């Protein structure tokens, strides 16, 4: 199919891996519809404590991936591991960003005391790690589908740190 697009979905949640609301439903179903139209779709999201506890993300693709070459001397310099699973009943890859400092917590966005104070850092890290992970896997997307504020920094990173990447 000549019009096949490579589409990267980046979201903070996706059914059945993690869910607090409708965002997870969209990121769990829209990729399936796009694949049915002939597109190559990948999903990237955090590997939360609850995601692992539910038995998802057992396949570790890479350990010790680093963002320090791209954005040195920032909070985003943290290393991370990349896990993989698939949307149920499909071969659509779901890449899970494992970074314990940011994502190994009881809640996705907060706890009984309110929102986590570092949510902006956590999800800026997700945006940056999602791009680095896709490229590490040899996936150069034509379209990056940013879902909600959690991936809001991704277009900035795409322009400022990945603009010279080959398509």
pLDDT of the chain along its 167 residues, tens only? 458 999 999 999 999 999 999 999 999 999 999 999 999 999 999 999 999 999 999 999 899 887 755 554 455 678 899 999 999 999 999 999 999 999 999 999 999 999 999 999 999 999 989 998 998 889 999 999 999 999 998 888 888 877 766 54
Q: What local confidence, expressed as pLDDT, does residue 64 receive?
A: 85
Q: pTM value?
A: 0.91
Q: What local confidence, expressed as pLDDT, does residue 73 receive?
A: 46
Q: What local confidence, expressed as pLDDT, does residue 48 receive?
A: 97
Q: What angle do CA 47, 166, 73 make, to 5 degrees?
A: 55
């Amino acid at each position: 199919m000549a019009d096949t697009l490579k589409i990267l979905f980046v979201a903070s949640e996706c059914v059945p891996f993690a869910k607090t609301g409708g965002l997870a439903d969209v990121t769990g179903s829209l990729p399936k519809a796009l694949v049915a139209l002939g597109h190559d779709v990948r999903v990237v999201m955090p590997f939360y404590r609850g995601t692992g506890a539910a038995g998802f993300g057992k396949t570790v693709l890479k350990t010790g991936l680093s963002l320090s070459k791209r954005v040195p001397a920032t909070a985003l310099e943290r290393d991370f591991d990349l896990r993989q699973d698939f949307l149920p009943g499909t071969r659509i890859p779901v890449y899970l960003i494992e970074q314990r400092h940011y994502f190994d917590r009881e809640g996705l966005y907060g706890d009984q005391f309110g929102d986590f104070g570092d949510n902006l850092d956590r999800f800026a890290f997700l945006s940056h790690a999602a791009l680095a992970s896709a490229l590490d896997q040899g996936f150069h997307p034509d379209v990056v589908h940013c879902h909600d504020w959690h991936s809001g920094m991704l277009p900035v990173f795409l322009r400022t740190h990945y603009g010279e990447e080959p398509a």
